[in-house]
Homo-oligomer: A and B are copies of this chain.
Amino acid sequence: MTASTQQTHPNNQDQLLTPGEVATLFRVDPKTVTRWATAGRIGSIRTPGGHRRFRETEVRALLAELTNDVGSL
């Protein structure tokens, strides 16, 4: 971690995605993405209205982590 800057949450340099966007990436229902957020499997940012936004970097990382490529030439 950076010992010179007090950055509690690196939370404003990533593109945010809507539940529908994330749902499209995972080929699931937006409701499912909501459940993942509720279950703590993925970080989420709530708008003052209660809607959720997700970090694109985190979503991509999760997507890549769950991706199983054979890597054959």
Give the interface of A toward B (CB within 8 A).
8-9, 11-12, 15-18, 25-28, 32, 36-37, 40-49, 53, 58, 60, 62-64, 66-71
Known: A17-B27, A40-B70, A70-B40. A11 touches B45 (CB 8 A): no
Identity of the chain B residue whose Cβ is nearest the Cβ of A35 in the assembled complex: B49
Tell me the interface secondary structure of chain A in the complex: loop
List residues of chain B with CB within 8 A of the CB of A8: 64
Q: How far is the CB of A14 from chain B (nearest CB, A)?
A: 10
A40→B9 contact, CB < 8 A: no
Identity of the chain B residue whose Cβ is nearest the Cβ of A54 in the assembled complex: B27
Q: How far is the CB of A1 from chain B (nearest CB, A)?
A: 13
